[in-house]
A and B are shown apart, each in its own frame.
Chain A
């Protein structure tokens, strides 16, 4: 196996007196889908926010792509190649697919001998279509505002955006929440496609079937601590539930 793309050692985050994340360590390798499981309040989101630059941890080390990576802001994390996909948060629903994929990085054309620059919508549409095709995502129209798309389709747009801009690590926070069953399947399918393209994914979820459907490895958190790390193939739903509710704890042993 290759070197880990993400390596976390002894990460600790304290809010006031509460230890939200307690000395957590784990690695993520290229082409790997890692499930991050735990009940509400287990510390999954806080851990991820430390990685994506939202929070600064009190202790511990994060290395990304071999470099120390304590990001000062989410923008810094994105620039380094860490894309975090939140449901509904990172897209402008009033803009079309192309505009969303190129949001903040719009392609432009020089006109009148470079005097002025206009948006190159044709280019952006073409590139978007190619990216979507390569991910086997099909929309009837790419020029409608994406508010006309379904929740799953919008997830797909966010994923396509990350792919187009060469994300080195994708973090997906409960991506199947609030989706209908066919939509859930579509999103899971996309995660598999990402793995096939060698893009590592951290999948935050509390839905066990999702974790079994797409992950290679699962990490379970309970009350801020990592209580288990298992290859998905070698564990069962009952076992994971026991870890999630705190009935079992590998770290305490």
Chain B
């Protein structure tokens, strides 16, 4: 064994007889909750600073803004959900942004063409979802097979497919945008479960938008838009899958020690294919929802979202070296980015600052992840493939 490995093994012995010292415990606790704390502190900052800077005209802590933030996290979060599984299994999927674009184009074409062929709106929209998810999952299948069976690094494979998918999305769309969708599609992407009108003459309305004008309109809050509800359902499903099922356990095992997973009889190759299909599928849902929201398919829609989604996953505490992470972390990561964007706009600070802050937070997140290794005494250069 190398000298380094011997040293690492010795450190393991010294560091842990199975009991963590109070200092280790505190360090671990901090490394787990810092993202929550950061989100909370940032929100508190905006809650205080926004009214101050606007003389009380603008408030951060409003029903409307909470909904705005929920809407804002939808695409980043959906791209990040599948990615969370992939990175926990020590992989990476760089194709999610363009897969989302392809799914957006596919769903728009499916909705438009089936509606034009006489299908009623709702079935046409469902068909759009199926087309988006199936098309995306196919790309994920190709990613997974090449990575698992041909042993090409995930970074290279998904980079390659992202270019291919990009080209296909351009070719399938008409000059990058698919328009001419039935106008009713807009309601699916922008309408909501609840409408709340405060003040005199107000009330609560379900499903249907109340007919209002002027000052009343300005008091209306739109709660739980359909894309948010659908995303929440996907998040709940992803949490269950990752933390409560054998599939999730195997995902952690593969990321923790691929050799151990193989020896334990886990069908690792098949599992990896499934992971990349999952990653593509959640991106497909993101593409579908963007088609509803913008009433058009776009072959470029996901391009700016790839890096944000990976940032959300990392900020959420998923270790890039695999083996650890949680869905709730990715949700927090996406929230941090959305709260930041919204808060800065409300403070009327340049949107560019968000890049600087997000970049800093990403690096801090990785440092914290590494310090966790140090605290836990995880041997460096460990046992991964």
Whether B18 contacts A139 by the Cβ 8 Å rule is yes
The segment from A36-44, A85-93, A191-199, A236-244 that touches chain B is A85-93
Q: Closest A-chain residue to B7, C-beta based?
A: A178
Q: A95-B256, A103-B264, A152-B13 are in contact. List 13 more A-B contacts (CB 8 A).
A: A89-B263, A92-B323, A93-B383, A94-B252, A94-B256, A103-B253, A103-B261, A147-B12, A148-B376, A149-B16, A150-B18, A153-B18, A183-B13
- Docked complex Cα distance between A183 and B16 (Å): 12
Give A152 to B244 CA distance when docked, in angstroms: 30
B249 pairs with A106, CB closer than 8 A: yes
**Residue picked from A94, A106, A151, A179, most chain B C-beta under 10 Å:** A94
Q: Does B6 contact A (CB under 8 A)?
A: yes
Binding site for B on A (CB under 8 A): 74-75, 78, 88-95, 99, 103-106, 108, 116-119, 139-141, 144-145, 147-153, 177-180, 183
A152 to B16, CA, bound (A): 11
Q: Is B117 an interface residue (CB 8 A)?
A: no
Contact of A150 among B17, B257, B376, B383 (CB under 8 A): B17
What is the bound-complex CA distance between A178 and B255, given in angstroms? 25
Whether the Cβ atoms of A147 and B246 lie closer than 8 Å is: no
Is the CB of B259 closer than 8 A to any CB of chain A? yes
Contacts of B16 in A (CB 8 A): 148-150
Taking the complex as formed, is B245 at the interface, i.e. its CB lies under 8 A from any CB of chain A?
Answer: yes
A140/B18 in contact, CB under 8 A: yes
User: Is residue B20 within 8 Å, beta carbon to beta carbon, of the partner chain?
Assistant: yes
Total A-B pairs, Cβ < 8 A: 113
List 27 contacting pairs A-B, 8 Å CB cutoff, sorted by A: A74-B263, A78-B265, A88-B379, A89-B257, A90-B264, A92-B260, A92-B261, A92-B323, A93-B256, A93-B257, A95-B252, A95-B253, A99-B253, A105-B264, A106-B249, A118-B240, A119-B246, A139-B18, A141-B18, A148-B376, A149-B16, A149-B18, A150-B16, A151-B13, A152-B13, A179-B9, A179-B13
Give A114 Cβ to nearest chain B Cβ, in Å.
Answer: 14
Chain B residues with CB under 8 Å of A91's CB are 257, 260
Q: Nearest-CB distance from A4 to chain B (Å)?
A: 26
Q: A78 to B261: give the CA distance in the assembly, Å.
A: 13
B47 at the interface (CB under 8 A from A): no
**Bound complex: CA A88 to CA B20 (Å):** 20
From A183, which residue of chain B is reached at the shortest CB distance? B13
B344 at the interface (CB under 8 A from A): no
Hey, what's the 0/1 contact readout for B225-266 against A, CB within 8 Å counting as 1? Answer: 000000000000000100011101110110111011101111
Task: Tell whether B64 is near chain A: CB-to-CB under 8 Å.
Answer: no
Contacts of B260 in A (CB 8 A): 89-92, 103
A104, A106, A153, A177, most chain B CB atoms within 10 A? A104
A93 touching B245 by the CB < 8 A rule? Answer: no
Q: Which residues of B contact A140 (CB under 8 A)?
A: 18-19
User: What residues of chain B lie closer than 8 Å to A78, measured between beta carbons?
Assistant: 263, 265
Closest CB of chain B to A138's CB: distance in Å? 9
B244, closest chain A residue (CB): A118
Give B192 Cβ to nearest chain A Cβ, in Å. 29
Task: List B contacts of A145 (CB < 8 A).
Answer: 376
With beta carbons under 8 angstroms apart, the residue of A74, A119, A139 that contacts B245 is: A119
Contact of B253 among A89, A92, A178, A180 (CB under 8 A): A92
B376 to chain A, nearest CB (A): 5
User: Judging by beta carbons under 8 Å apart, are A117 and B253 in contact?
Assistant: no
The answer to whether B182 has its CB under 8 Å from any CB of chain A is no
Bound-complex Cα distance A104 to B261 (A): 7
Closest partner residue, chain B, to A118 (CB atom): B244
Look across to chain A and name the residue whose beta carbon is closest to the beta carbon of B268. A104
The chain A residue sitting closest to B325, CB to CB, is A94
Point out the residues of chain B lying under 8 angstroms from A118, CB to CB: 240, 244-245
Measured between beta carbons, the chain A residues less than 8 angstroms from B51 are none
Check A108 against B263 for contact (C-beta < 8 Å).
no
**B378 interface residue (CB < 8 Å to A):** yes
Complex CA gap A84/B1 in Å reads: 19
B27 touches A (CB below 8 Å) = no
Q: For B257, what are the chain A residues with a Cβ–Cβ distance below 8 Å?
A: 89, 91-94
